[in-house]
Structure 1
């Protein structure tokens, strides 16, 4: 999904993000050793990854011929989008009780290790890890909003960008809560409810915010931003569905974690709900229950899901969402339509 901007532009974006993380580290170092360690862990959690969201900001800005006078402000907003994403990732790990990300300890994992070095019992170490991760996410959220607040923008443009961030936080919170309720419910929720949660968890903050923020900073017309918002929402849903396929069928290299991790963890995704609506729901349920036991059972569950037709149906949903995005964007400037096409192509390529 990267390569939406050239290498030089990417380096500028990465530099701005790293500068914001450096500020967090410097602020933490001014306090206690524990605060310094928290700040350093927070910065590590936000480094790496695909960083395609800031590229979306820059690409949309360029698609609307953004003024060089606003380039620095655009870079600030792009960095803020990545900080927002990092905050959500850190908090998501708390909600999922994860202590590892990309094969290394996350913030919670690092502070569990700190608790061990301090001689804490297991339950205290776990509590310390959760507390540190919540605080790390809070630091990133604050830095994201601070970065937008201090960007060199006129008040109307800043308000529009802050409104986008406001939507992102509220809609994503609703989506995460729905996702947890679905996971804890006695029965499998209907695919439509899972699709709604998938949209809310990802579409707004990962696609609507960066694309619309870039367009706003590029002085897009209000009607253009409205159309782009609808197109971006469809792209966000398609991306999340593709991510569900990666989580179920992808290799460790594809997913950044163990192959078939979503199946091993028993995640309730639209893919799983569609499979259980098929002709062999009991076979699907049994295969998914066994998937928790190891890689052989995961591979069996993958075959069962594939045979159920659910994988193909999710791919159809992805194609439908991308087509809807292209339709919504049909009245946009040609450069914006090209950008939507490129994003759609990248999502299709990701859909396993």
Structure 2
């Protein structure tokens, strides 16, 4: 497997950044986002307590899980906003938090779809309510159904809160309708991508490479990169053309991010990723690794035997390693990042935005390398 990617991926010089994948926002902004998320959760818990004690308990569980991740999506919304010199930071913080609430909701729903009760080494909300049902004497299938039902409810509550917050951030501004449209698009495309991911996993063969890349654009790149950047820019007063430029660059970076995520899901360190290196394989997820390897007839036949239970997941993983799929996937991610930061859309962005997006590209490619 070969690719023609060639780019200098050394990190650019610039202002001091935070470490990790949210390295393009300063510590003060991260703290402001975290504080606002806690406030939003507490307010929702207090409102709910007036009419439902159980609802208040659920919001308490939700709130305890907010602002515990990388806050990458809020960081990108703030990047888009500041790239075009927005002057109302409280509005931008609310928009940024709306994207994090949406992300939290989608993670909860994704755990239900994937039947996962642990995320990054911590039990999920579904697991907590499953265990309560088990303790009350319910069978395991009934308890898991109860836990997943609560997970669906929790995700729905977060999506509702996210929509309200995004609308409030844009209310009364010249860009109100286009910011709201961008946020709604994030929800719609994430849902479409999740659906395609699920349906591909039910097929007898993995999706093709082009299908996987399109699915990953919808499921991850759109709501995680493209639309936070685009919505932030629009809120700051950028033109539609300017917002589309930063969104286009973000979309390519977002697909690269998911390609690296596929690599880590099979070849990463579980102690760092919080995920088994065989879970994607057992669920027959259509990752870029499987799509690339399935182009070889011998591997396609091995996959059929794996699907029927005749071949263990470890053997599939070993075959993926021997075919060099990790190296090829990383080269593909490098090509996507290079294309993004070398595009006309990128060159039309303000210099400060270019610098931060180069940093973003570097952080994506260096994830757990």
TM-score, with structure 1 as normaliser: 0.91
Q: Taking CA–CA contacts closer than 8 Å with sequence separation of 6 or more, which of the two structures ends up with the larger relative contact order?
A: 2
1:12 is the counterpart of 2:32: yes
1:317 is the counterpart of 2:323: no
1:339 is the counterpart of 2:356: yes
Q: How does 1:228-243 map to 2 (within 5 A)?
A: 228-243=246-261
* 1:183-227 CA distance string (max 9 Å, x none): 001222222111111111001100012111221222223221121
Structure 2 counterpart of 1:193 = 211
Distance 1:321 1:3 in 2: 20
Q: CA deviation at 1:131?
A: 1.4
Structure 2 counterpart of 1:119 = 137
Which structure: greater helix fraction?
1
> Which consecutive unaligned segments of at least 5 residues does structure 1 have?
none
Task: Provide the secondary structure at the position in 1 that maps to 2:216.
Answer: helix
Identify which range, 34-43 or 241-250, moves more after superposition. 34-43
Task: Provide the secondary structure at the position in 2 that maps to 1:271.
Answer: helix
Distance 1:291 1:219 in 2: 58
Distance 1:110 1:252 in 2: 22
Task: Provide the secondary structure at the position in 1 that maps to 2:175.
Answer: helix
Residue pair 1:73, 1:153 contacting (<8 A) in 2 also: no
Residues 284 and 346 of structure 1: CA distance in aligned 2, closer, same or farther (over 3 Å):
farther
Structure 2 counterpart of 1:214 = 232
Residue pair 1:83, 1:144 contacting (<8 A) in 2 also: yes
Distance 2:198 2:65 in 1: 23
Task: Provide the secondary structure at the position in 2 that maps to 1:151.
Answer: helix
Distance 1:72 1:93 in 2: 32
* 1:1-59 CA distance string (max 9 Å, x none): 11211111110111111111212222333333422232222223434111111111122
TM-score, with structure 2 as normaliser: 0.87
Q: CA deviation at 1:264?
A: 4.3
* 1:243-291 CA distance string (max 9 Å, x none): 1111111112331223443234432211111012237416853896689
Residues 305 and 154 of structure 1: CA distance in aligned 2, closer, same or farther (over 3 Å):
same
Structure 1 counterpart of 2:18 = none
Structure 2 counterpart of 1:306 = 321
Residue pair 1:45, 1:106 contacting (<8 A) in 2 also: no
Aligned residues: 346
Task: Provide the secondary structure at the position in 2 that maps to 1:187.
Answer: coil
Distance 2:366 2:148 in 1: 36
Q: CA deviation at 1:97?
A: 1.3
Residues 74 and 123 of structure 1: CA distance in aligned 2, closer, same or farther (over 3 Å):
same
Q: CA deviation at 1:301?
A: 4.0
Distance 1:25 1:250 in 2: 37
> Which consecutive unaligned segments of at least 5 residues does structure 2 have?
1-20
Structure 1 counterpart of 2:267 = 249
Task: Provide the secondary structure at the position in 2 that maps to 1:245.
Answer: helix
Deviation beyond 4 Å, 4+ runs, structure 1 = 286-293
Residue pair 1:111, 1:129 contacting (<8 A) in 2 also: yes
Structure 1 counterpart of 2:104 = 86
Alignment counterpart, residue 58 of structure 2, candidates 38, 41, 55: 38
Residue pair 1:60, 1:339 contacting (<8 A) in 2 also: no
Residues 287 and 244 of structure 1: CA distance in aligned 2, closer, same or farther (over 3 Å):
farther
Identify which range, 304-313 or 207-216, moves more after superposition. 304-313
Structure 2 counterpart of 1:145 = 163
Structure 2 counterpart of 1:64 = 84
Residue pair 1:191, 1:273 contacting (<8 A) in 2 also: yes
